[in-house]
Amino acid sequence: MPMPRPSDKAKAYFESVLPEDPRVSTRPMFGQVAAFVNGNMFMGLFGDDLFVRLSDADQSALMREKGASPFTPMEGRPMKGYVVVPSSWLGQAGKVKPWVERSLAFTASMPPKEKKAKKGKKQPKK
């Protein structure tokens, strides 16, 4: 199954709900875009779906909203802790921003992600 690509509208939506916080960074992830705090991903796009990382209680609350679903980038393999925001909320930053803020706060409370050591370049054989 080919990897979905986010539309320009979804990318603009992502940018519109991205917190203006100096701890937040973004980077591409498998042709998508994701936001990080302390090296931990807290929100991202998968195709046109926006997902957020939440505490167990907040996951339950968001899942009660019509259209919310577990984030499942590979069929049958949901990513623990992540929920897809209802697609009907696309363009409704007022509904989405509180969930993004909860996601940022929850993820910022986690220990910073340790950077993996970069593998050294192999020297060419002479």
Give residue-wise pLDDT tens across range 80-125.
Answer: 899 999 999 987 888 999 999 999 999 999 988 777 766 655 555 5
The alpha-carbon radius of gyration of the chain (Å, integer) is 16
24: how many CB neighbours lie within 10 A of its CB?
A: 17
Secondary element (H or E) of residue 106: helix 93-108
Distance from C-alpha of 62 to C-alpha of 81, rounded to nearest angstrom:
12
Sequence-distant contacts of 33-37: CB under 8 A, at least 24 apart = 33/6, 37/104, 37/107, 37/108
Distance from C-alpha of 21 to C-alpha of 112, rounded to nearest angstrom:
16
Residue 31 is which amino acid? Answer: G
| Beta strands in 13-122, from DSSP E residues, in sequence order | 24-29, 32-37, 40-46, 49-53, 69-70, 82-84
Q: Which domains does the chain have, with CATH numbers?
A: 8-108 (3.30.1460.30)
pLDDT digits (tens, 9 = 90+) for 19-68: 999 999 999 887 889 999 999 999 999 999 999 999 999 999 999 999 99
